[in-house]
Amino acid sequence: RRTGSGPGGEEEEDDECLHRLEEDDDEDEEEEEEEEEEEDGENKPKRRGPKKKKMTKARLQRFKIRRMKANARERNRMHGLNDALESLRKVVPCYSKTQKLSKIETLRLAKNYIWALSEILRSGKAPDLMSFVQALCKGLSQPTTNLVAGCLQLNPRTFLPEQTPDLPAHLPPAAAAAYPGHFSYQSPGLTPGLPSPPYGSMEPSHIFHQVKGQPYGPLEPFFDGVLVSDGPAFDPPLSPPLSINGNFTSSFKHEAAAAAEYDKSFSFSMHYGGGGAGGHIYGGGGGPNPRCAELQVDGLMGFDGHSHHERLMNAQLNAIFHDS
DNA sequence: TAGGCCATCTGGTCCT
DNA sequence: AGGACCAGATGGCCTA
């Protein structure tokens, strides 16, 4: 959205003007040596720092040129920043060209996502879906939460108990059955412009997979102390226990070792197009890791092939949550 | 219309 | 000196 914004006008005009000024600049070079002694105030203390030079015509022009150059650089810098942010949007859950996450929400979601994935690596456990979504949505605005929920095929009311006084939080499957409308995301107009289906689907029994006495299901320790929605602000560790070159923490290392080629087909690599055509997610192809769902993802492209993004994201998330 | 988000300009600071 | 980075200010666009 770069049309007609900003008080300064168009970039092209700036460039033209800049050229004109640069040409004029050579003409009155000799004027520039004038300096002005500040003698205006007898009582005023002497001003420190470099003396202010009089703004001659040439100096003014050079100043303008400098300013324009600086503005152009600043614009480019911000465009680069925005490009990077756009790339980030594409690798966090729920990328949508039509309804873009705001900058701040993108950063927050990315932080949550990184942290949640790091926890998966650290613990080696597939998370409970609700825990995962809660972790993703911590600190996000309601619209963004809706968006994430939409992308994950969830009704946000099922995982934001503090915002849903009309619906008991964390219902057991039986209760879930009593609220049939609440457990499938219906794109209810909460999120106009939401990327259209197909999304993966989640059975209520899957969503509410729980163990007695554990509010978030059997894998909850995984997000221990973080997901209590009415607790203090979510503040994951600044340095998640993840190393890019495969330094998993010990418990997971063993599993990973047992899973042999696990990391070769790990979802991170798929994210960046490493999966290749017909790749499997999470050590598919009969890999020894029992938690790893086998998913056929045909025709995977590099991550720049965004038409596959939603499917990819879905596949990854399904793989994560497939707790067989 | 208010508020959120954004792009841009601008001046300051730090670094090379 | 000039570039990178930053934060404040400003005004436009959009939506509830």
pLDDT digits (tens, 9 = 90+) for A171-209: 333 333 333 333 333 333 333 333 322 222 232 222 223
Task: Indicate yes or no: pTM above 0.85.
Answer: no
What's the mean pLDDT in A229-257?
Answer: 36
Cross-strand pairs, A280 = A296
| pLDDT above 70 for A316 | no
User: DSSP of A92-127, one letter per residue?
Assistant: SSS--SSSPPPHHHHHHHHHHHHHHHHHHHHH--PP
Q: How confident is the model at residue A157 (pLDDT cuts 50, 70, 90)?
A: low
How far: A74 CA to B8 C1' (Å)? 9
* Distance, CA of A6 to C1' of C11, in Å: 6
* B4 C1': nearest CA residue: A102
Distance A118 CA to C2 C1' (A): 42
> Which pLDDT score, from 0 to 100, does residue A168 have?
31
Distance A169 CA to C2 C1' (A): 59
Distances in whole angstroms, Cα of residue A32 to Cα of each of A40, A66, A241: 21, 15, 59
Are A298 and A287 contacting, i.e. CB atoms less than 8 angstroms apart? no
For residues A288-298, average pLDDT: 30
- Measured from Cα to the C1' atom, the residue closest to C10 is A7
pLDDT of residue A114: 92
Q: Count other Cβ atoms within 10 Å, centred on residue A61.
A: 19
Name A191's bridge partners: none
Q: Which nucleotides of C are covered by protein (CB under 7 A)?
A: 2-7, 10-14, 16
